[in-house]
Chain A
Amino acid sequence: MSNIKLIVTNQLNSMSLSSVPDAEVNLPVDNLKRSEKSLVMRTTSTSIIVTGVLPGQVTADGVFLSNYSFNLDATLNLTLKLQGVEQLNQNFQTDAQLIPLGTWVAGVDPYGGYTGKQIRKMVGFWFSAPVTYDEIILTINDPANIDGYFDVGRIFIGQAYSPQLNMSYGCQLEWLDDVRHERTYSGSLHSTGGSDHRRMTINLNYLSDSDRAALETELFKNNRKSDLLISGYPGVGGVKEMTHQFIAKREKAPRYSHNFSNNNTLPLVFLEV
């Protein structure tokens, strides 16, 4: 487990993207850069290879996919290259699996039997060490797909910002919904609505001057219109990591306080996109 991580700059947005086979005409591979949930990349194949080429080299330490519809047992491979030389080659897959009813599973199931689809689990991983690259090749294989297609909404790749001292206790995670209750003449309580999104409030109360400078620079380069990836409890695993990791925008403009020598504070509120 490490301190909170933020990927503020999504390096994918600077890439020239292509795929084999080609994604569907109305839902092309460039949609991976779009925030709107209906603008996804779609393939009607059971596998797709997405290639992204950067104009120059950058360093990343994590990759994550969100808003996907491939099966939970789909396999993925990430290859990062620098000037044609492989720097990273790693298979991965979503680690939340549906436990069929009546199936006994040894040990403690950290996800409580949830599927990733139920709580919008991101699939991806933090690299063991930062990797410098200029080309990404992501392969998704979903041979058991019976829908005839699968979608990927976003791919986030970049170098995470993580403060030396973690956020303070008191991190708040809200599941906001629009459920409304109404009672009828007979006393029944009818409920309607239901779509939800997350709102996470944190306080970075122990930012050194260098931590502040690094974060301030990142946030300055990416205004509040930009999406970022937040992971409140990276590496902790289970539902806790799952629920505190999502793509978000900042609700309010940053307000730094220089409250002590070499110490700064910054409250942040993230809204799930």
Chain B
Amino acid sequence: MITDTQYSKWLKNSDAHRVVLVELQDSDNNKLYLSNAWYISKPTDTDPNRPYIDVIQSIPPIVSRYDRDATIGSLRLINNGHFDDWLKDAKVVGHPINIYLGDQSWSRDDFKIAFSGLCGGLFDVSKGLIDIRITDKRSLLNRTIAHWTNTVPASLRPTIYGAVKNITPIAVQFSTKIYYYCHKDGYAMNVFQVRDNGVPVAFTKIGNAFYLAAPGYGEITCDAGSTTSSWLTAVASEIAQAAGLSVDEIDTSGLDTRSVGVYVTDPSQTAISALNDLLSPLNIKWRFNRDGKLSFTKLVVPENILIAHTVTADDIVLESIKRVSYEAPVNNITVGYAKNWTVQNTANLAGSVSDENRVIWSQSAQSTTHSNDVQTEHPFAVDSTLETYLVSSVHAENHAVEQVQVRSARHIYRMTIKNYLFQMLIGEGIHITAPHYEFKTGQNAIIIGVTEDIKKESATIEVWL
């Protein structure tokens, strides 16, 4: 087997005979095997003696960006009659299409994935030419993540991800004092505290419900959450899994271990909106990578990033460096945390509730503010308020400080790197030295976009610094 190091070396070898293999699957798990140059797997391969028909006329560049799903557009094929049955009968729309890259002389098992997506359909272009439209997997997350239960009484029950404060459980059998606080298959949940008009009361947990020792007369609320983890890594992954993704389809390496809590009460809420609500205020972008995995990128201060790539003037195509955008810095930033999922009227809270809790239960969240005060230097600097699902005040304060540094005045540059196919990953650090005003003495940056052109064997990157 070829190692990752050998593969990287091969990618930089301009004399290599690169072959793009495409496998398109239909609803019956039959596959079309296509390529842009002739290729046959070896007798010793996992799928032995497999011919790939070299009918692919063009392969568009693969575009990856930190805030968008990787895309490739359409593959154009020459239809020599080989695909007539597929055009007529095959159910391919929405089914996997995988693109692999390797050398014509290699074993098939040594090829590596270049893009994994879903087929958007086969379409006529002109006589003898058809396009395979390829879509990303975002549609897989456009599914609701609240849960129905068939147990009596059948109902839609709210779903907890992580740890949540002061939610309103559903009273299903008032006479027996039973409340459902959550229903979520496969996850153990805890109820940490139950309150009646803000005053803690005794309760007994039974599965995803609890019952009170005595009837509740006021507004019943509770704190609840996962017994395993309320870390961001776990919560984002659970939301994606609730929409149907498998663990293998999720790469949580771009996430961290801050505690968060999400309470899904809206039956129409999708995983897409839940992930956006959870991650956007934390300045974390999510997307489906070109390998088909759900991935996450958190922008950090570029000056301090770990450098994964060093490129010089000899790597960068002449006249390709361009400054393409400017981002104004943040002036003052307010970070909300400890979201209160049931905002209560202080008049209804019991008299024994402390003044501190009285404030907490009557506000939608707590917040912390960090000042930057740069509007004199940067008139376009803006104030920013981030409503996060962070639980801890320490995490919120750190987030505010960090965002002021991260969201300084920034630029995005674009440039084309030769012989650097599939080497650079979104979020990695890069050190660039080139005869261009910004990079003359060398500059650290973060890769936020990569457009990989297999035909030109080059990568056009967007860097943020």
Contact = CB atoms under 8 A, between A and B. Distances in A.
Binding between chains A and B: yes
Interface of A: 24-27, 31, 36-40, 42, 44, 148-149, 151, 180, 182-186, 188, 190-195
Contact of B313 (A182, A185, A190, A195): A185
16 contacts: A26-B48, A26-B49, A26-B51, A38-B39, A38-B51, A39-B53, A40-B51, A42-B40, A183-B318, A184-B318, A186-B314, A190-B419, A192-B455, A192-B457, A192-B458, A193-B457
Contact of B314 (A27, A37, A151, A184): A184
B341 interface: no
A184 B318 CA distance: 4
Contacts of A193: 455, 457
B67 interface: no
Contact of A38 (B42, B54, B434): B54
B381 to A, nearest CB: 34
Contacts of A39: 51, 53
Q: How many interface residues does chain B have, given as a range?
A: 35 or more
Interface of B: 14-15, 17, 35, 37-40, 42-44, 48-55, 80, 312-318, 418-419, 434-436, 455-458
B interface SS class: loop
B313 A186 contact: yes
Contact of B38 (A36, A42, A190): A36
A67 B26 CA distance: 32
A148 B44 contact: yes
Identify which of B35, B37, B48, B49 gathers the most chain A CB atoms within 10 Å of its CB: B49
Nearest to A27: B49
A185 B435 contact: yes
A192 B54 CA distance: 20
B53 A38 contact: yes
A153 to B, nearest CB: 9
A185 B51 contact: no
A38 B317 CA distance: 35
Identify which of A182, A183, A184 gathers the most chain B CB atoms within 10 Å of its CB: A184
Contact of B43 (A24, A38, A192): A24
A interface SS class: loop
Identify which of B42, B48, B54, B80 gathers the most chain A CB atoms within 10 Å of its CB: B48
B140 to A, nearest CB: 32
Nearest to A43: B43
A39 B39 CA distance: 9
A90 B32 CA distance: 41
Contacts of B314: 184-186, 188
Given A26-B50, A27-B49, A39-B53, A185 B316 contact: yes
B40 A38 contact: yes
B437 to A, nearest CB: 13
Contacts of A195: 17, 37
Nearest to A151: B40
A183 B435 CA distance: 14
A25 B39 CA distance: 16
Contacts of B52: 38
A121 B456 CA distance: 29
A31 B418 CA distance: 39
Contacts of A186: 312-314
A188 to B, nearest CB: 5
Nearest to A40: B40
Task: Across the A-B interface, give the 5 residue pairs with the lowest CB-CB distance, nearest first.
Answer: A37-B38, A185-B313, A38-B38, A186-B313, A38-B51
A43 B435 CA distance: 56
A42 B49 contact: yes
Nearest to B33: A38
A191 B418 CA distance: 9
Contacts of A24: 43, 48-49
B84 to A, nearest CB: 15
A37 B36 CA distance: 11
A25 B53 contact: no
Contacts of A183: 317-318
B130 to A, nearest CB: 17
B461 to A, nearest CB: 14
Contacts of B315: 184
Contacts of B55: 36
Contacts of B436: 185
A180 B456 contact: yes
B319 to A, nearest CB: 8
Contact of B418 (A25, A37, A149, A184): A184
